[in-house]
Every structure is written in C-alpha cells, then in structure tokens.
Amino acid sequence: MELIGDRYYRDAYDNKIQKESYRQVLRIMADKLDDWVTKKEIKEKFKGSKTTLDNALFALRDRQIIFGKEGEVGVYRLQHKGFAWWIKLYTTDTAQLQQSLPTTPSSTKT
C-alpha cells in the first residue's frame, strides 16, 4: 500500500496541498472511503473556520483531488477508495490503527 501511495497519492496529499487544514478535510472524507460526503458532515468534524473550510473545498475541487456531485451543491467524494485507505494508513498512528483492526478468534485447544 505504501508503494502505491508513493506512486499515485503522495503528490496530491503532500505537494498539491500546502495547508494542514486542507489535509484535515481529506482525513475527514477518508472515513467514508469514496462515498459522497456532505459539507455539513465535514463541517461537524472540521476544526477551523467556515471560511477555511470553504477555501479548502474549493482548492481541493479545483486541483481535482476531490469531486463535487453533479447537480448537488455541497456534496463531495474522494477520487478513489484506495486514496481513502492510503490517507487513513498514512495519517493514523500505528498503535491506533492496530486497535481498529478486527481480531482473529483464538484457536481452541482440544
């Protein structure tokens, strides 16, 4: 996953975006993978001003990092599910990531 991210996603996440607040929007959206997310849903989790959120959404759309839903104002999604997975993997602390993974059942001894 790291190699795929380095090849396809890192440039969009690190180089096309210079503001942490814009990356915060991507992390919020990554929770929904590549499903549509409303601006209202993003705003509920966003730690910043309305203007900063508006600027982030505009810039991310303008750079084609996120897409707006045609015919619906304020509805967005990430480019790909793989991008969402990479964001979650790349930006989540390893210990926290391991806690969120499902555990395998213990083998039973007879």
> Of 26, 92, 34, 14, nearest to 60 (Cα)?
26
Residue 86 clears pLDDT 80, i.e. is over it: yes
User: Quick check: is 104 in a domain?
Assistant: no
User: Quick check: is 110 in a domain?
Assistant: no
User: Quick check: is 102 in a domain?
Assistant: no
- In the chain, the number of structural domains is 1
User: Quick check: is 82 in a domain?
Assistant: yes
Q: Find the CATH number of the domain harbouring 43.
A: 1.10.10.10
Q: Note whether 85 and 33 are within 8 A (CB).
A: yes
Distance (Å, whole) CA 14 – CA 20:
10
User: Quick check: is 106 in a domain?
Assistant: no
What confidence tens digit (pLDDT) does each residue in 25-76 have? 999 999 999 999 999 999 999 999 999 999 999 999 998 899 999 999 999 9
Give CA 92 to chain center in angstroms.
11
User: What pTM, to 2 d.p., does this model score?
Assistant: 0.76
> In terms of residue numbers, what domain contains 8?
2-92
**What phi, psi does 37 have (nearest 5°)?**
-130, 135
User: Quick check: is 75 in a domain?
Assistant: yes
Percentage of the chain modeled with pLDDT above 90: 50
User: Quick check: is 80 in a domain?
Assistant: yes
What is the predicted pLDDT for the residue at 109?
A: 47
